[in-house]
């Protein structure tokens, strides 16, 4: 199709650039990117409607569409009697305002901020179109690899920029002065450090996934050479250690380091949870997992020690008090939900009602968000729509979890699609977990990256769970004219053999470098 490449390039451009200008948090930038997603995804959906017809009538599509339609209805002007029927408190407030202004026959929307609610509806539709189109395009392994490279490059750029901010407190965010929000913390091009940490928690799992997928052919080659020569040469080990796949691994390590020095307590805790989840899901041997954790920990402690962990640990000294305050904020915010139980207050309206309902908060403090996306969405959507959203969310994540666990048990070898699905699942899990303690969903860059990961997860999960190993497709080109023969036993045990070779080669290579260093010191 002629429009396939332009649509794909549009999506790649958005992924590569949307974090760069404050995460597209400015309304004009946010609107521009939403418009691009709406047009590109809409054109793709219209031209491929027959292919996506079945997907549109499933619960996974109908649930978000129903929520979008509800948001549109909440932004439309309605007669006062209908508003009184659906939201009595909203009608009472409107009637009181009418009496003060001496107005009659008022019409208004269920939302307290109708323009914002209408924009959220259009934004949600753009994300829906983006998911449908991008998940179809990502069925190609080459497109998935390109997407992983884009996420890795953007993530390492944000990480390096953030580490420069952590080591040089005078460095601000782009052209903003350094005293704008969290001076001395890693923030990259994103002003709010918790949103920055949430962004990196979606990027670093995909960087490691890319590195693993790139190393797979090299591991196959090393295993063949080890069996052929009974010993790996120094050149083979050096080639392994300095392969291009090390770039994503180093990038992922720098992302984790920058995340730590963002001093985001929620981001750091979520990062530890994701690391444990990813280690549990990856179908590698225990020895390889322990070795990988050790190397990553060594990297973090060495480079992090140069910067200094004291500023990070000091943030956790106030963890308890901060948690108590947030619980109090959520509790008092639920009064808005109590008064607008069915229809909510409207998307984007929390910031306008919080000064009225948060009576225990000092007058000089203004909370435009509830610091909990689930609480805030329930307040803005109402209980029925929020329950539908949670049912859609839980159903989708549990379904993907079952697919990953089944593929882990039945796959005969480590497949790239399976690894991508694991990485995307971990990234989305971090996006959902961190939302329980902060307003990370309000940054467009985070939401669009989360939808991109969901498209990756959807596309990778649809790939075949197993395939036959062939020398033409999986074996790397060797000097020998005869391709390596892999019997059925070796094929069954390939993942374990490959990963053991990975750990063995790294340990031997490091030992050799240490011995060379000792000899140089002695001379």
Pick from 128, 143, 134, 130: nearest CA to 41: 130
Burial of 193 (0-12, 13-18, 19+ CB in 10 A): buried
Q: What are phi and psi of 345, to 5 degrees?
A: -100, -5
**Contacting residues for 514 by C-beta, under 8 A, at least 6 apart:** none
User: What is the arithmetic mean of pLDDT over 394-401?
Assistant: 93
Mapped onto helix, strand or coil, the DSSP state of residue 79 is strand
**Contacting residues for 118 by C-beta, under 8 A, at least 6 apart:** 71, 72, 75
- Assess contact for 64 and 392: CB atoms under 8 A: yes
**pLDDT for residue 241:** 60
Backbone torsion region of residue 282, taken as left when φ is above 0, otherwise alpha when ψ lies between -120 and 50, otherwise beta:
beta
**pLDDT for residue 481:** 34
At 380, is the pLDDT very low, low, confident or very high (cuts 50, 70, 90)? very high
Cβ atoms within 10 Å, residue 493: 13
Residue 58 falls within a domain, yes or no?
yes
3-state secondary structure 35-51: HHHHHHHHHHHHHCHHH
- Sign, CA torsion 384/385/390/396: positive
Higher per-residue confidence, 300 vs 119: 119
Cβ atoms within 10 Å, residue 310: 7
- 78 strand-pairing partners: 108
Whether residue 518 is predicted with pLDDT greater than 70 in this model: the reply is no
Whether residue 61 is predicted with pLDDT greater than 50 in this model: the reply is yes
Higher per-residue confidence, 417 vs 149: 149
Q: Which two tokens mark 349?
A: 């309206």
- Assess contact for 443 and 123: CB atoms under 8 A: no
- Sign, CA torsion 404/458/26/344: negative
- 315 strand-pairing partners: none
DSSP 8-class letter at 476: P
- Assess contact for 243 and 201: CB atoms under 8 A: no
Q: What is the pLDDT of residues 192-225, one digit of tens each?
A: 889 999 999 999 999 999 988 887 665 566 555 5
Q: What percent of the chain has pLDDT over 90?
A: 40
Q: Lowest mean pLDDT: which of 258-262, 371-375, 457-461, 511-515?
A: 511-515
Domain that holds residue 39: 4-319+367-464
Residue 102 falls within a domain, yes or no?
yes
Residue 72 falls within a domain, yes or no?
yes
Q: Lowest mean pLDDT: which of 46-50, 59-63, 389-393?
A: 46-50
At 106, is the pLDDT very low, low, confident or very high (cuts 50, 70, 90)? confident
162-166: list long-range contacts, CB under 8 Å, 24+ apart: 162/186, 162/187, 162/188, 162/196, 162/258, 162/261, 162/262, 163/254, 163/257, 163/258, 163/261, 163/307, 166/258, 166/261, 166/262, 166/307
Mapped onto helix, strand or coil, the DSSP state of residue 509 is helix
Residue 432 falls within a domain, yes or no?
yes
Q: What is the pLDDT of residues 242-271, one digit of tens each?
A: 667 788 988 999 999 999 999 888 899 999
Whether residue 519 is predicted with pLDDT greater than 80 in this model: the reply is no
pTM for this entry:
0.82
**pLDDT for residue 156:** 95
Helix (H) or strand (E) holding 108: strand 107-108
**Contacting residues for 311 by C-beta, under 8 A, at least 6 apart:** 184, 261, 263
Residue 501 falls within a domain, yes or no?
no
CB contact burial 340-374 (16+ within 10 A = b; e otherwise): beebbbbbbbbbebbeebbeebeeeeebebbbbbb
Q: What are phi and psi of 340, to 5 degrees?
A: -135, 55
Q: Which two tokens mark 230?
A: 């009974």
Indicate the number of domains in the chain.
1
Q: Lowest mean pLDDT: which of 36-50, 67-81, 332-346, 509-523?
A: 509-523
- Sign, CA torsion 101/107/111/117: negative
- Assess contact for 214 and 419: CB atoms under 8 A: no
**pLDDT for residue 128:** 95
Please work out, in degrees rounded to the nearest 5, the angle formed at the alpha carbon of residue 463 by the alpha carbons of 461 and 468: 135
- Assess contact for 255 and 207: CB atoms under 8 A: yes
- Assess contact for 344 and 380: CB atoms under 8 A: yes
- Assess contact for 80 and 49: CB atoms under 8 A: no
The radius of gyration of the chain's CA atoms, rounded to the nearest angstrom, is: 26
Residue 514 falls within a domain, yes or no?
no
User: What is the arithmetic mean of pLDDT over 435-445?
Assistant: 92
Residue 330 falls within a domain, yes or no?
no
**pLDDT for residue 269:** 92
User: What is the arithmetic mean of pLDDT over 409-437?
Assistant: 81
């Amino acid at each position: 199709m002629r429009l396939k490449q332009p649509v794909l390039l549009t999506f790649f451009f958005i992924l590569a650039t949307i974090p760069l200008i404050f995460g597209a948090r400015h309304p004009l930038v946010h609107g521009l990117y939403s418009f691009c997603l709406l047009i590109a995804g809409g054109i793709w959906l219209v031209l491929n409607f027959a292919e996506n017809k079945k997907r549109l009538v499933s619960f996974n599509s109908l649930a978000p569409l129903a929520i979008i339609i509800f948001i549109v209805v909440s932004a439309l002007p309605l007669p006062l009697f209908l508003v009184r029927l659906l939201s009595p408190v909203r009608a009472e407030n409107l009637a009181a305002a009418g009496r003060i202004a001496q107005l009659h026959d008022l019409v208004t929307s269920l939302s307290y901020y109708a323009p914002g609610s209408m924009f959220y509806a259009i934004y949600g539709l753009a994300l829906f179109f983006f998911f449908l189109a991008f998940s179809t395009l990502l069925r190609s392994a080459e497109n998935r690899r390109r997407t992983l490279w884009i996420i890795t490059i953007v993530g390492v750029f944000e990480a390096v920029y953030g580490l420069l901010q952590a080591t040089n407190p005078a460095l601000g965010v782009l052209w903003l002065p350094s005293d704008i929000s969290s001076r001395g913390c890693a923030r990259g091009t994103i002003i709010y450090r918790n949103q920055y940490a949430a962004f990196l928690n979606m990027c670093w799992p995909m960087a490691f996934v890319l590195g693993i997928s790139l190393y797979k052919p090299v591991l196959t080659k090393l295993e063949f050479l080890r069996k052929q020569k009974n010993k790996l040469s120094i050149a083979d080990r050096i080639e392994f250690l300095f392969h291009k796949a090390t770039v994503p691994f180093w990038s992922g390590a720098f992302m984790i380091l920058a995340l730590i020095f963002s001093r985001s307590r929620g981001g750091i805790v979520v990062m530890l949870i994701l690391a444990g989840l990813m280690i549990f899901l990856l179908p590698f041997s225990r020895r390889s997992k322990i070795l990988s954790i050790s190397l990553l920990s060594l990297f973090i402690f060495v480079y992090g020690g140069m910067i200094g962990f004291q500023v990070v640990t000091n943030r956790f000294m106030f963890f308890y008090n901060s948690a108590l305050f947030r619980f109090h904020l959520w509790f008092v915010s639920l009064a808005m939900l109590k008064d607008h139980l069915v229809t909510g207050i409207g998307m984007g309206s929390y910031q306008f009602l919080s000064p009225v309902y948060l009576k225990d908060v000092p007058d000089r403090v203004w909370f435009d968000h509830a610091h909990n996306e689930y609480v805030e969405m329930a307040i803005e959507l109402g209980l029925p729509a929020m329950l539908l959203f949670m049912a859609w969310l839980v159903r989708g994540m549990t379904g993907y979890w079952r697919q990953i666990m089944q593929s882990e048990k039945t796959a005969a070898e480590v497949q790239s699609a399976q690894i991508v699905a694991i990485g995307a699942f971990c990234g989305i899990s971090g996006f959902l977990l961190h939302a329980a303690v902060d307003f990370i969903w309000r940054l467009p860059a985070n939401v669009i990256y989360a939808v991109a990961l969901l498209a990756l997860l959807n596309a990778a999960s649809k790939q075949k769970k197993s395939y036959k190993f062939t020398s033409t497709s999986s074996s790397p080109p060797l000097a020998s004219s005869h391709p390596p023969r892999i019997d059925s036993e070796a094929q069954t045990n390939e993942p374990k053999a490959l990963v053991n070779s990975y750990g063995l080669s790294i340990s031997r290579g490091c030992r050799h470098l240490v011995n060379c260093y000792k000899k140089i010191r002695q001379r």
